[in-house]
Amino acid sequence: MVNSALMGLFGSQSLLAEKVSRETLQSIGCKVRTLTSGPKHHFFGYYGICPWNKSGRRLVCLESGFQDRMPSPGEAAAIGLIDSQTGRFEKIAETRAWNLQQGAMLHWNPLNPERQIIYNDWKNDDIVSVILNVESLEKRILPRAVSAVSHNGKWALSLTYGRMGRLRKVVGYGAAKDPNPDNPAPDNDDVFLMDLTTGKSKLAVSIAEVYGRLLKKYPLLKGTHMWFNHTVFNKNDTRFFFLARANLPPKGRRHTAMFTANLDGSDLREAIPFDREVSHFDWRDDKEIIATFIIEGTGRKHVLFTDGRADYKVIGDGFLDFDGHCSFSPDRNWIVTDRKHRSTTEQALLLYNLQTGQKVELCRRPMQDKKYMSGDIRCDFHPRWSRNGDQICFDAIEPENATRQLHIAYVNGL
């Protein structure tokens, strides 16, 4: 496991308390492998979701012929399997519901994590989800998109991608439509709970409910269109969190609150206030959450806290004082995150141990072009753990040919 491997990597408590230098890490020789190859682009999309199947022999990802623009309505990306040893890509399907940031919300089905995947697609002028057997290619269509899949495989959370696309294009789908384009806070949208067996769904939390709560404290919100984004189940699938967002006047700056709720929408809690600009996140277990948001008035930091309490604890001793895509290792002791160094147009892959305070910079990679550092076509690392915690998969631009490819950092046996 990562924990035992890195415990052997550092020999003194003084070194544990310091940020490891780039030169030290290079001499240690952390192995990073470019798994896929061009000329086409290969990427998984979002972070915190495992791209490996149960045996670890295959990964799932998207393949596209372009990365310099958002997909047009109806424009397809290939879905394929990658051999974890050779890096060979084998196309098995297509999707017309995808973007460069989140892909098509690909998941391995927890009920059959060796042979079935779940992903979003476009059918009959609507966004749906598909459960596909990667060997027989037998598929089942579900009536709603998935934005999260429960660990037990029973449920999915679903958001309205048309509304997300209208209000924040980078996470939307070109073909999706907002059913309430003139309503700032509809009461028939936006977090739905869908049964993955039957396809039946029900509204769990409406925008109107959250909007009404926030409007009391933030009167500037009145008349501003709100949307929800980024749903995640806790580890025992009893609660979930989501972000509620709106661009407030006078300059249209995006404001975000994090809410948590039971699966039926009850016991709705504002976990992080609207004015803290919460950005990225993960559940450690059924109660503890990590998130990046503004605290102590000095920009976003990585913060650990308990659902239902404001017991915010900044972690990392300055090592994690930035906004990164953070998630917990399978043993829940390590955090992986990524950092952009805009002055050098580099991205770094970082590890932090919550028990020992170990700080590890696994690698840095140069960005081929500044246009991939921000905006709708940016290429964030979006790190994702393997099932046993010995590897981390991330997307990055190859400097030799400027293609977007999957990479693997090997964090076992350093």
**pLDDT tens digit sequence for 88-138:** 999 999 999 999 999 999 999 999 999 999 999 999 889 999 999 999 999
What integer pLDDT is reported at residue 372 of this predicted model?
87
25 or 198, higher pLDDT = 198
- Give the residue among 348, 352, 344, 341 at the shortest CA–CA distance from 363: 348
Arithmetic mean of pLDDT, 348-377: 90
What integer pLDDT is reported at residue 370 of this predicted model?
83
Q: How confident is the model at residue 80 (pLDDT cuts 50, 70, 90)?
A: very high
In this predicted structure, the answer to whether residue 27 has a pLDDT above a threshold of 70 is no
**Mean per-residue pLDDT of the chain:** 91
**Residue 17 Ramachandran class (φ > 0 left, ψ -120 to 50 alpha, else beta):** alpha
The total of other beta-carbon atoms located within 10 Å of residue 56's CB is: 15
Rg value, the chain, Cα = 20
Per domain, the residue ranges of the chain are: 2-410
Phi, then psi, of 321 in degrees rounded to 5: -85, 70
Phi, then psi, of 41 in degrees rounded to 5: -95, 140
Distance CA 238, CA 232 (A): 11
* pTM for this prediction: 0.92
Q: How confident is the model at residue 311 (pLDDT cuts 50, 70, 90)?
A: very high
Distance CA 341, CA 322 (A): 10
**CATH classification code of 2-410:** 2.130.10.10
Phi, then psi, of 204 in degrees rounded to 5: -95, -50
CA distances from 269 to 64, 266, 309 (A): 40, 9, 10
Q: How confident is the model at residue 6 (pLDDT cuts 50, 70, 90)?
A: very low
Whose structure tokens read 């919460």? 278
What integer pLDDT is reported at residue 47 of this predicted model?
96
- Give the residue among 274, 352, 341 at the shortest CA–CA distance from 314: 352
Distance CA 409, CA 50 (A): 14
What integer pLDDT is reported at residue 26 of this predicted model?
34
In this predicted structure, the answer to whether residue 170 has a pLDDT above a threshold of 90 is yes
Distance CA 102, CA 163 (A): 16
Q: Which residues contact 252 (CB under 8 A, 6 or more apart)?
A: none
Answer for the pair 362, 350: CB distance below 8 angstroms, yes or no.
Answer: yes
